[in-house]
């Protein structure tokens, strides 16, 4: 088997099994462990899989349209958004990122909230534009068709100028080893800037995203404050994240009261 054929076969195996062992691949293809490691590194460098200790994991390279994703798990997203809203103080400066769950967070902000919202999402800005008590700032940048997501140098410079109290971040996947991942490189860079300039960063991830790896890594889980997910999370997924050092807050569990100005 030619090296290119072997790598295609490895990729097919990873996509089917979701996770593979380097030792098992070496035995299956009759090559050395070092050869398999080189193959896995090459596939990783092309963004086709995620390299982990002892093997590799499958990644998702694309996501559905904003309209299609809006119809998926609406009850989970609403529960996560309501949980997120309990974490917001009445005069906080907050960041609401792009994504369908992030849009629900904007809708869930309590009537008592009179702070500042920084966003890179046109839909979030449109949702909040009628609330006079909120100071709303929309970053510039290139707008992605369909999602209304702003990214690029203008967006990065915008978020670098602020220090926010809390950020609510969209996600493509949340995995114990791969961390927070997503699909669009420019938006990944913007999200890293947001995290660096925010006191507390919360990842919005319904249970279908736990254990999933999107094609681009944003950061390890220890760079965020907590993962907000829904009550349908499987115990194994929750335990894997907490074992990796992540704090996981599940909607439907004990709810936190809204933070006071001093909190």
DSSP class per residue in the chain: --HHHHHHHHHHHHHHHSEEEHHHHHHHHT--HHHHHHHHHHHHHTTSEEEETTEEEE-B-----HHHHHTSSHHHHHHHHHHHHTT--TT-EEEE-SSHHHHHHHHH--TT--SEEEESBHHHHHHHTT-TTSEEEE--SEEETTTTEEESHHHHHHHHT--EEEEEE--SEEETTTEEEES-HHHHHHHHHHHHTEEEEEEE--GGGBT--BSEEEE-GGGSSEEEE-TT--HHHHHHHHHTT--EEETTSSPPPPP-TT-
Please give the structure tokens belonging to residue 211: 């254990």
My answer on whether 15 and 98 are in the same domain is: no
Average pLDDT, the chain: 87
Q: Is the pLDDT of residue 124 over 60?
A: yes
For residue 71, what are the domain limits?
A: 66-250
Q: Is the pTM of this model over 0.85?
A: no
My answer on whether 171 and 153 are in the same domain is: yes
Average pLDDT value for residue range 46-71:
67
My answer on whether 47 and 123 are in the same domain is: no
My answer on whether 52 and 76 are in the same domain is: no
Q: Which pLDDT band holds residue 47 (cuts at 50, 70, 90)? A: low
Largest CA distance in the chain: 67
Highest mean pLDDT among 31-45, 61-75, 86-100: 86-100
Residues with Cβ < 8 Å from 50, sequence gap 6 or more? 44, 56, 57, 58, 59, 175, 177, 178, 213
Residue 152 falls inside a structural domain? yes
Residue 89 falls inside a structural domain? yes
* Domain of residue 122, CATH code: 3.40.50.1360
Please say which residue of 58, 74, 93 terminates a domain: 58
Please say which residue of 58, 80, 99 terminates a domain: 58
The 10s digit of each residue's pLDDT in 193-238 is 999 999 999 999 998 889 888 888 999 999 999 999 998 877 788 8
* Domain of residue 46, CATH code: 1.10.10.10
């Amino acid at each position: 088997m030619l090296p290119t054929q072997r790598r295609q076969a490895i990729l097919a195996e990873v996509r089917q099994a979701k996770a593979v062992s380097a030792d098992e691949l070496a035995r299956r293809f009759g090559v050395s462990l070092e050869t398999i490691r080189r193959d896995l590194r090459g596939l990783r460098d092309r963004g086709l899989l995620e390299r982990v200790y002892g093997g590799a994991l499958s990644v998702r390279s694309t996501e559905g349209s904003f309209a299609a994703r809006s119809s998926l798990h609406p009850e989970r997203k609403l529960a996560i958004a309501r949980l997120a809203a309990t974490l917001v103080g009445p005069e906080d400066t907050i960041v609401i990122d792009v994504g369908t769950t992030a849009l629900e967070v904007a809708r869930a902000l309590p009537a008592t909230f009179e702070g500042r919202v920084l966003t890179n999402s046109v839909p979030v800005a449109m949702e909040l534009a009628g609330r006079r008590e909120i100071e709303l700032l929309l970053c510039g940048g290139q707008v992605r068709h369909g999602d209304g997501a702003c990214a690029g140098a203008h967006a990065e410079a915008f978020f670098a100028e602020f220090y926010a109290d809390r950020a609510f971040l969209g996600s493509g996947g949340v995995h114990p080893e791969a961390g927070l991942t997503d699909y669009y490189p420019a938006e990944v860079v913007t999200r890293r800037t947001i995290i660096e300039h925010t006191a507390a960063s919360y990842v919005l991830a319904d249970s279908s995203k736990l254990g999933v790896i999107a094609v681009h890594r944003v950061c390890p889980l220890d760079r965020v404050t907590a993962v907000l997910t829904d009550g349908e999370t499987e115990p194994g997924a929750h335990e894997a994240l907490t074992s990796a050092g992540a704090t996981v807050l599940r909607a439907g569990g004990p709810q936190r009261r809204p933070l006071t100005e001093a909190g």
